């Protein structure tokens, strides 16, 4: 699964009874930096990968400020010796994209930064023309012996059911050869995610790989139970 432990990771080995399973791709630390987008601004999706040294985020934020832009949403990960970030950013509509990329690259050059800037409005996705299908969020926890092809098998099987993998976290312990991974799933109505779990369990039976399925709203209800109210008739009612 994952090639080894990230510098900053969120352990999933003992998460099943905690408040909620948090899925953070490559140990992502998600930072909501939402601002009201001005009418004269344009949003882009930007990725930056650079050597992880103190000051890289400050340099990147400074570059955005100098361009009159800023973060809208950002997710950051430290993977091995590399700093990686994917963010929705906004700049004045008058700012040329080549100027944006060149300036960020120049500021991040001491860190060996690679910069990619994408304009979402230019990506005509077929899904946008379709009616959004309601879905239910689940978490699939996969752990055990690190077998080749586990992630391939899981992703193929979920795709067959029309289930989208919306987030993923995984790490491997090189010393023991074991891995732990968690996938966030968007399960559309009519898809049988329990069957996916059963098929995976059957496929890897006897190979030391386990598959645990959790529904997000049930996890949340368990971890944050509403207070119980005792009525005059002594019946127990749940508030909220």
The reported pLDDT for the residue numbered 218 is 74
Residues lower than pLDDT 70 in the chain:
1-39, 124-132, 219, 221-240
What is the tens place of the pLDDT at every residue in 145-177? Answer: 998 899 999 999 999 999 999 988 888 888 898
Whole-number pLDDT of residue 217? 77
Domains delineated in the chain: 29-122 (3.30.70.260), 129-223 (3.30.70.260)
User: Global pTM?
Assistant: 0.61
* Secondary element (H or E) of residue 6: none
Q: What is the pLDDT of residue 102?
A: 95
Residue 142 burial (C-beta neighbours within 10 Å; 0-12, 13-18, 19+): buried
What is the DSSP annotation of 166-198?
EEEEEEEETTTTEEEEEEEEEEETT--HHHHHH
Token digits for 97? 């994209």
Q: Which pLDDT score, from 0 to 100, does residue 30 have? A: 35
Q: What is the rounded CA–CA span in Å between residue 111 and residue 141?
A: 35
Q: Residue 169's pLDDT is what? A: 86
In contact, 87 and 49? CB cutoff 8 Å: no
**Residue owning tokens 């993923």:** 168
């Amino acid at each position: 699964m994952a090639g080894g432990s990230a510098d900053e990771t969120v352990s999933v080995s003992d998460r099943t009874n905690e408040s909620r399973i948090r899925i953070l791709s490559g140990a992502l630390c998600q930072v909501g930096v939402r601002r009201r987008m001005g009418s004269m601004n344009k949003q882009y999706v930007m990725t930056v990968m650079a050597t992880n040294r103190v000051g890289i985020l400050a340099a990147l934020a400074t570059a955005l400020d100098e361009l009159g832009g800023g973060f809208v949403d950002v997710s950051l990960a430290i993977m091995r010796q590399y700093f990686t970030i994917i963010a929705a950013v906004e700049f004045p509509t008058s700012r040329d994209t080549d100027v944006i990329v060149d300036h960020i690259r120049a500021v991040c050059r001491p860190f060996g930064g690679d910069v990619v800037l994408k304009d979402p409005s230019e990506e005509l996705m077929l899904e946008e023309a379709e009616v959004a299908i309601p879905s239910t969020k689940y978490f699939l926890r996969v752990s055990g012996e690190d077998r080749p092809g586990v992630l391939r098998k899981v992703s193929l099987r979920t795709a067959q059911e029309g289930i989208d993998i919306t987030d993923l976290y995984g790490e491997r312990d090189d010393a023991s050869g074991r891995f732990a991974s968690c996938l966030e799933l968007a399960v559309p109505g009519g898809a049988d995610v329990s069957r996916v779990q059963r098929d995976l369990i059957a496929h890897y039976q006897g190979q030391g790989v386990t598959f645990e399925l959790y529904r997000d709203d049930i996890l949340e209800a368990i971890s944050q139970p509403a207070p119980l109210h005792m009525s005059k008739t002594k019946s127990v009612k749940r508030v909220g």
